């Protein structure tokens, strides 16, 4: 079973704060994704990557940066956090971009006060 580990599990910050969410996958998957989940909006794709150094823009990228430092590690950065970014964030990975299941991490609950 593919393992996707997110940290931290919970994070509280203030408006304007700087936050980094971390994700590591240990299944040698090429693709990694950051989603946010909000009631009424389902899952929304923020950024994704197909390998170290690569970054692709998702559907709701504004206010977020991301960086894929290695095949295993994908980070989501909120440099000036806003209350609208309060959400549940999921990282996921897959071997290929399509026709392959995604493996999700446990999620990070972020609260921006």
Per CB under 8 A, residues contacting another protein are 40-43, 45, 48, 56, 90, 92, 97-99, 101-107
Nearer to another protein, 38 or 79 (CB): 38
Match 């990694």 to its residue by tokens: 32
What DSSP line would sit under 22-77, residue for residue? Answer: EEEE-S--SEEEEEEEETTTEEEEEEEESSTT--EE-S--TT-EEEE-SSSEEEEE
- Residue 62 CA to residue 40 CA, distance in Å, equals 19
Choose between 52 and 97: whose C-beta lies nearer to another protein: 97
Residue 46 CB, nearest approach to another protein (Å)? 12
Smaller CB distance to another protein: residue 75 or 89? 89
Query: How near is the Cβ of 106 to another protein at its closest, in Å?
Result: 5
């Amino acid at each position: 079973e593919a393992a996707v580990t997110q940290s931290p599990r919970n994070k509280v910050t203030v408006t304007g704060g700087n936050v980094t969410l971390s994700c590591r996958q240990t299944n040698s998957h090429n693709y990694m994704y950051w989603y946010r989940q909000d009631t009424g909006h389902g899952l929304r794709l923020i950024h994704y990557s197909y390998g170290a150094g690569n970054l692709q823009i998702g559907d709701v990228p504004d206010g977020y940066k991301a960086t894929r430092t290695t095949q295993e590690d994908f980070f989501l950065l909120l440099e000036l956090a806003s209350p609208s970014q309060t959400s549940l964030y999921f990282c996921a990975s897959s071997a290929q971009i399509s026709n392959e299941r995604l493996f999700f991490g446990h999620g990070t609950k972020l609260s921006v006060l």
